[in-house]
Structure 1
């Protein structure tokens, strides 16, 4: 089975770093036209990077209008933009709460609305993929905003799938576990101590591989589902290494 995304237009948020950047480059290699949003724009002639602050309502709405006018086509939306947020209910600020809701619930909702409208208008049976996290199911301490929005994305996926299934649009949640995104080489100690059944941290490319399948024409009958890619972390009884519990990684 050889996956091709040739002829597909894919919008990836948070596509300028980590999982998003690796996925953007991989999708481009597979033949997709990639539009990737972020706040720090890398140089790449094959990918259309657009600077957008998704926590800004004005920036987001301006981007949506630009996309409709200048691109006007979409086969796959990946709502990937995310930041960690280490606050408990006892010290979370309203500013932090609002920022997380804007970035990881409001932006995905509005972009999914845009994508669905374009897909329906063009008669495209496309894909909307939301990137959650296993913290929605297995929270770390002092992670209230992050856990809440990731859980919300899972519920959003189900609701979108119910509304859009009649148009042939598939909506899926991908739920990564411990994926190392701080560089190309995982520190040996961190890798060895990873609390996964496979005994190592995951790599962004492994998530990108899954996303490529989900965005491809091979994926024809998955919708409203959560797909874990966590190396068995969710069912492992191993403790997380200090680098993860402290928020360093």
Structure 2
């Protein structure tokens, strides 16, 4: 962690903090010495995880509904009340309920885009304005996915939302550069248990077998990439996507039988 020692004392907001990847991200920032604002939908789960991490008085939690603009703005206002401004924002929260396009409801489609795209827009805008007001040259990290470039049956809205998030990342990067705020995306590898939809043991085994480096993502894989983008080690990096997925997005070692629609 010495390579990322400049993160110590910085203030970081992490959305989706109670999920698998969110926990890895929060733990890595905590270990690096950052104060944390952890946010997710479940207030009790947030409090339990904050206690597990042993967060100090400079950190806090905020239960937010990322489909609700008022709730997101409440989070932004709370960050300002506690810190004035954050130094790091990690837009990690994401949902991907599965379903064929012929079956998925308009409500589910809208909810996916609300959490995966609209919320990062609202939150990045709000946090960036605070950074600018305080003269903070901060770092925004959007958690993307190889699905942004590799279409998958039954999760097309998720794939599409991540493609749009990648473009939003580049858009914010080019517009916030004049203020010294960097905006990048991180693509973690497969992490069993991070899906909203439950995964069968067979699916998990087949997915891992198809990864060129032969294993799922680990906490340290995500931590090293996240801390790099959050720290001054990446001071000349903005608008980029860092892929840490064992080669999964460049090709597959196994050909899975395509799931077919029952019609």
- TM-score w.r.t. length of structure 1: 0.88
* Map of 1:220 onto structure 2: 235
What's the RMSD between the two structures over aligned residues?
Answer: 2.4
Contact 1:19 1:205 in 2 (8 A): no
Equivalent residues in 2 for 1:151-190 (5 A)?
151-181=163-193, 190=205
* Map of 1:207 onto structure 2: 222
Distance 1:21 1:88 in 2: 30
Distance 2:221 2:214 in 1: 15
Distance 2:41 2:259 in 1: 27
* Map of 1:15 onto structure 2: 17
Distance 1:23 1:92, change over 3 A: same
Distance 1:192 1:144, change over 3 A: closer
Larger deviation, residues 221-230 vs 205-214: 205-214
Q: Does residue 75 of the first structure (1) align with residue 87 of the second (2)?
A: yes
- TM-score w.r.t. length of structure 2: 0.84
CA-to-partner distance for each residue in 1:48-74, whole Å, 9 max, x for gaps?
222111112232222222222233221
* Map of 2:102 onto structure 1: 90
* Map of 2:3 onto structure 1: 2
Distance 1:67 1:195 in 2: 41
User: Paired residue for 1:25, among 24, 27, 45?
Assistant: 27
Gaps of 5+ in 1: none
Distance 1:119 1:61 in 2: 15
Gaps of 5+ in 2: 195-200
Deviation at 1:178, TM superposition (A): 1.6
Deviation at 1:15, TM superposition (A): 0.9
